[in-house]
Amino acid sequence: MFGFGKKKSTVNQKFLSIGAGKVVSLEQVPDQVFSQKMMGDGFAVELSENNIYAPVDGEVTLVFPTGHAYGLTTADGKEILIHLGIDTVELNGDGFSPKVKQGDKVKQGDILTVMDIEFIKEKGKPTISPVIFTSGEKIELLKEGETVTAQTEDIFKFVD
């Protein structure tokens, strides 16, 4: 009745895709850390365009030095890890042009980075990119297998 012990969302913002591509379940990601949900629940996008966008308003809490991973925290405390490609850390930053830094405030739709999809593929790295809720939220994927744009809403819903 009073909501004790439950996470209360103070912000009811829709999440958008991080970019254009095909929505994939985490179980399909070719990396056990993600596919076995060791870092949290989420989904992935097999990216088809270079621009990577903030899926929601928040603060940039992590920019990996190689530009391949970003952490965002929303006003209501959701922590989101965006990991671009698989094994892309091995590229030492090549193929990524970060547009934000740790501590920046971003609005939904702001460009986080530009990822050179063709370069990543040429280097033999998958462009499938997990979006993980590291703060513990569980989701139900609603658009698995569908092609989305950066403006696509309702890719998933939160579940208790």
Q: Which residues are known catalytic residues?
A: 83
Please enumerate in sequence order all residues whose Cβ is within 8 A of that of 59, keeping only pairs 6 or more positions apart, or say none. Answer: 72, 73, 103, 104, 105, 106
**Distance between CA 104 and CA 112 in Å, rounded?**
10
Q: Give buried/exposed letters for 108-134 (b at 16+ CB in 10 A, else e).
A: beebbbbbebeebeeeebbbbbbbbbb
One-letter amino acid of 142 = L
User: What gap in Å lies between CA 15 and CA 10, rounded to an integer?
Assistant: 15
Sheet holding 21-25, edge to edge: 105-106, 58-63, 69-73, 79-83, 128-133, 41-47, 21-25, 147-148
